[in-house]
Amino acid sequence: METTDKKAYKDYLARLLKQYNQYLMLEKSLAQNTLEAYTADLGKLMSFLTLEQIPVLETTLEDLHRFVAGLHDIGIHPRSQARIISGIKSFFRFLIMSDYLETDPSELLESPKIGFKIPEVLTVKEIDALINVIDRGKKGGQRNRAMLETLYSCGLRVSELINLKISDLYFEEGFIKVEGKGNKQRLVPISPRAIAEIQLWFTDRVHLDVARDFEDFVFLNLRGKAISRIAVFQFIKEYADEIGLKKRISPHTFRHSFATHLLEGGANLRAIQEMLGHESIATTEIYTHIDRQRLREEIILHHPRNKKK
């Protein structure tokens, strides 16, 4: 699509959304908070359609299914999914009423079953409390701070964290290279705070007697070997107990919180999926075409760890 066409479409879409906003205010008499929620939820769909280069009036049920699958993929709660779908249906009903469309692509779009269980989400305050309770002076303390900060700031799987290599750290560029499921590699932006915690850990790491074949591993146990998944689970549980956290959490909770906070902050849904390395978008062919600078800007802009105090 040419630049002039993109601008024309953007202006057209803005007018369309303005009309829908007026419809909600005048015809539905929605409260301001409800109106803002509808607008925000619809914005997620618009971002998805724009990224996929799908004109809003050409949206199909299949497109909507892919969008909703993306919401599920990054762990959005079924109740939130149901609310978003409700807003989408309202929008397309408006398009039908206003003679923009003859058929409603959302008519057969179903809401998820509310009973679906997903992992807990931590607030930024709870994550800060978990990290801050760690005593740097204790053995492994700084390492554990660096691990939790990296889990949250980069949205890693625990397997990706414990297998992270020093040779895969590109701190000057602000990235780390991660090997995910199926040995697929991806570049992930890393926050300045996570970099600082890892560098502090390296001042402790140099005093370890590193075991053979583990020289390149970032995170080591006290015997100089790669730390285990179980160890990470255990110390997270201990810190949660120490601050009196009632939620049942695991290393995956940090990854889930990463995605949720980015989405709530306005990050693009597709960019989050790429960051997490999900199968639906992380095929080798697609990955080689990722605009890494754009992904880094998404994370820097929207992740709580990158916002200035």
- Give the residue numbers marked as catalytic: 157, 181, 252, 255, 278, 287
Nearest residue to 151 via CA among 220, 219, 76, 246: 219
Distances (CA, A) of 261 to 57, 77, 223, 307: 30, 13, 36, 12
- Tokens encoding 276: 């997490």
Asked if 63 and 52 touch (Cβ cutoff 8 Å), the reply is: yes
Phi, psi dihedral angles at 100 (to 5 degrees): -80, -30
List the structure tokens of 48.
């998805």
Of 152, 195, 146, the closest CA to residue 173 belongs to 195
d(CA 53, CA 12): 15
Coil vs helix vs strand at 197: helix
Q: Where are the beta strands (DSSP E) in 135-233?
A: 169-170, 175-179, 185-189
CA distance 283 to 232: 29
Backbone phi, psi, residue 104, to 5°: -100, 110
The region that residue 250 occupies, defined by phi over 0 for left and psi between -120 and 50 for alpha, beta otherwise, is beta
Tokens linked to 99: 């003679």
